[in-house]
Each structure stands twice: as C-alpha cells, then as structure tokens.
Amino acid sequence: MGTLNPYISFNGQAKEALEFYSSVLGGKVEIMTFGDMPEMGAPAESADQVMHGSLTFDDGRVLMASDTPPGMDYVAPTAGVTIAVTSADPADHEVYADQFAKLSEGGTAGMPFAQAPWGDYFGQFDDKFGVSWMFDVAGPESTDA
C-alpha cells in the first residue's frame, strides 16, 4: 500500500520552514539542495535552495517540501490545501494546544484552538510561511458524528 504525503512548495524558505516545523512537532529533517545535484543544471544562485526536503516522524508520517525550482512560477501553498493535525485521543489535548500556539506564532489567526460545538478542540491558522494548518483533538464530550 502506498502513502499520501503533503508536499509544500516554498519560495526560498523550505529549509527554514522544515526546521521550524521539526522544532515544534519533532521528527527528522532531511534536505537535498539543487547544489547537491549539479547535473540538474540549476543556476548557481539557487544552489542552497531545497530541491527536495522531508520531515519524517517516528510514527512514519512524512511532510515534504521544496523550493520552487529555477525557471518555474512560484504558487503559494495555501491554494485550497490545509495541513490537518488530528487525534481521537483527548489525552493529546495539552500537546496539541502547545503545538498550535508555537506553529501559529507570527502567522495569521483563523480560529483559536478551543472547544467546538461537536466537542472536539479545534483551531486553524496560516503560519508565518503562509501554510494553512488546522488542529483537531477529541474532547471528553466529543460525539462520534
């Protein structure tokens, strides 16, 4: 069976973003730059940009990212896509609340991380890199709806 992994495009901030996400969420960052692959013929000024990067978590989840390759138009990552961090375990509330606060710092608030009408704790924001996130963790009164 294959996997489904979010892959975020950045405009020169992929390394910074992956390292920031790792500092909050944990996981191991791996980066391949355009300079690591000279046979690709990328211009020298893009040598330090990320050709492919990944943040791999202990449970196997992977968040991927790259900088927009030279010669291609940059498309912002928020074009209808949101990274969802979810848990059905109410015991995760404190961890999720902390991650939400740290990842949303310097970003644009959407909905605060608070108890929603369906019983879960839910919130959303765009981070300082323009990436949309939503967090949802089951609350003690959550419904199975």
- Name the packing angle between helices 93-104 and 14-25 (round to 10°): 150
CB atoms within 10 A of CB 4: 5
State the chain's mean pLDDT as an integer: 91
Per-residue pLDDT of 46-98, as tens digits, reads: 899 999 999 999 999 999 999 998 788 888 876 688 999 999 999 999 999 99
For residue 142, pLDDT beyond 80: no
Residues 89-118 have a mean pLDDT of 96
pTM as predicted: 0.89
Q: What is the pLDDT of residue 124?
A: 97
* Superfamily, domain 83-137: 2,3-Dihydroxybiphenyl 1,2-Dioxygenase, domain 1 (3.10.180.10)
Using alpha carbons only, what angle is made at residue 82 by residues 77 and 83, rounded to the nearest 5 degrees?
105
Q: How confident is the model at residue 145 (pLDDT cuts 50, 70, 90)?
A: very low
Domain boundaries, the chain: 7-67, 83-137
